[in-house]
């Protein structure tokens, strides 16, 4: 079984410490939710796991199956089985959704041990259509430029389409629910639910509890001021839904940040 272990992680952006000693163990087959107020470092954690160069790891480690990923470039991390669905997906004019996904799949295959041949055009089309069916997406999306002119919901669905096509060992979903109406949340969640299983672990980052009505987490963590301050089950998410984040702030605010 594969494991992603985050050990005493400390991360800075431009000399400001954002993540302040964060520990988390994610195993294949498990769904973990991270909830926290805005500005608490959730996206920073997601980007750092994927290796965005803006984030400086100043302490701790991120281990994938016992091996540190900190020296690996983002594309290497992706080929090693990590995937991030962005909170704010960027558009790439000139690159179609289908070509983008096919390029990513072929890159994985070429770097596999032993290397595999590129996926055939026919197999790729079949696979992409079946994943689009899963996400109730119109097939014309395959021919559109990535995220160019997409609505918020279409962008998020396209992120989950990439996830479905790449079948990573660990998927991080950064506020995939933000900006989605309830139907889109349901469809995206059903897509994720169809993928989760013994071969995929998921880290679902969210501000609101509602996506967790659809994607049932095994563990819920509350992140505050760069740390995980509480861990438990679904009852934690429900408590946040009922009471908001004020009690978290009162309990965990550091004197120097008041
Ligand atoms: P969350 O996803 O939980 O809302 P983020 O990880 O996006 O939080 O941000 C955490 C903190 O890092 C915030 O205080 C934010 O202002 C700060 N931050 C994010 N990006 C930058 C940046 N490019 N430069 C400086 N500070 C940043
Ligand atoms: Mg964020």
**pLDDT, average across residues 148-153:** 91
The pLDDT confidence band at residue 136, using thresholds 50, 70 and 90, is: confident
**pLDDT, average across residues 149-166:** 92
Q: How far is the CA of 125 from the centre of ligand 2 (A)?
A: 33
Tell me which H or E stretch contains 85. Answer: strand 82-85
* Ligand 1 atom closest to Cα of residue 226: 10
Q: Whose CA is nearest to atom 15 of ligand 1?
A: 39
pLDDT in the model for residue 153? 87
End-to-end CA distance of the chain: 43
CATH of domain 3-252: 3.40.50.300
* Ligand 1 atom closest to Cα of residue 46: 6
pTM, two decimals, is 0.93
Q: Whose CA is nearest to atom 18 of ligand 1?
A: 13
pLDDT in the model for residue 183? 86
Query: Ligand 1 in contact with 221 (CB < 6 A)?
Result: no
DSSP-derived secondary structure for 8-27: EEEEEETTEEEEEEEEEEEE
List all residues 6 or more positions away from 45 whose beta carbon is below 8 Å from its beta carbon.
Answer: 6, 9, 11, 19, 22, 34, 205, 223
CA dist., res. 99 & res. 44, Å (int) = 28
In angstroms and rounded to an integer, the radius of gyration of the C-alpha atoms of the chain is 18
pLDDT in the model for residue 113? 87
Instruction: Say if residue 256's pLDDT is above 70.
Output: no
Query: Ligand 1 in contact with 206 (CB < 6 A)?
Result: no
The predicted-structure confidence for 233-251, as pLDDT tens digits, reads as follows 999 999 999 999 999 999 9
- The ranges assigned to domains in the chain are 3-252
DSSP three-state, residue 252: helix
**pLDDT, average across residues 222-231:** 96
**pLDDT, average across residues 182-186:** 88
Query: Ligand 1 in contact with 226 (CB < 6 A)?
Result: no
**pLDDT, average across residues 73-86:** 94
Most confident of 17-26, 176-185, 208-217: 17-26
The pLDDT confidence band at residue 194, using thresholds 50, 70 and 90, is: confident
Query: Ligand 1 in contact with 257 (CB < 6 A)?
Result: no
Instruction: Say if residue 201's pLDDT is above 80.
Output: yes
pLDDT in the model for residue 181? 86
CA dist., res. 87 & res. 80, Å (int) = 22
Q: How many CB atoms lie within 10 A of CB 23?
A: 14
* Ligand 1 atom closest to Cα of residue 47: 6
Query: Ligand 1 in contact with 36 (CB < 6 A)?
Result: yes
Three-point CA angle 125, 215, 44, nearest 5°: 85
Instruction: Say if residue 254's pLDDT is above 80.
Output: no
The pLDDT confidence band at residue 257, using thresholds 50, 70 and 90, is: low
What b/e readout covers 32-69, taking b as 16+ CB neighbours within 10 angstroms? bbbbbbeebbbbbbbbbbbbeeebebeebebebeeeeb
């Amino acid at each position: 079984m594969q494991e992603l272990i985050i050990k005493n992680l400390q991360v800075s952006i431009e000399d400001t410490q954002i993540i302040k000693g964060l520990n988390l163990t994610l195993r294949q087959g498990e769904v973990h939710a991270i909830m926290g107020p805005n500005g608490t470092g959730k996206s920073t954690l997601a980007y750092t796991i994927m290796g965005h160069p803006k984030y400086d790891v100043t302490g701790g480690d991120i281990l994938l199956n016992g091996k540190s990923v900190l020296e690996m470039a983002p594309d290497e991390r992706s080929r090693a089985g990590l995937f991030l669905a962005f909170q704010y997906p960027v558009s790439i004019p000139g690159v179609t959704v289908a070509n983008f996904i096919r390029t990513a799949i072929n890159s994985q295959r070429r770097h596999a041990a032993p290397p595999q041949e590129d996926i055939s055009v026919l197999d790729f089309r079949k696979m992409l259509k079946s994943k689009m069916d899963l996400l109730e997406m119109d097939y014309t999306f395959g021919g559109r430029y990535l995220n160019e002119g997409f609505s918020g919901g279409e962008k998020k669905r396209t992120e989950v389409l990439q996830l479905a096509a790449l079948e990573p060992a660990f998927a991080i979903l950064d506020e995939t629910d933000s900006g989605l109406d309830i139907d889109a949340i349901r469809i995206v969640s059903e897509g994720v639910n169809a993928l989760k299983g013994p071969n995929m672990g998921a880290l679902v980052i969210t501000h609101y509890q509602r996506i967790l009505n659809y994607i049932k987490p095994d563990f819920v963590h509350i992140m505050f001021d760069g740390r995980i301050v509480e861990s438990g089950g679904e009852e934690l998410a429900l408590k946040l839904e009922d009471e908001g984040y004020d009690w978290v702030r009162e309990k965990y605010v550091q004197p120097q940040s008041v």
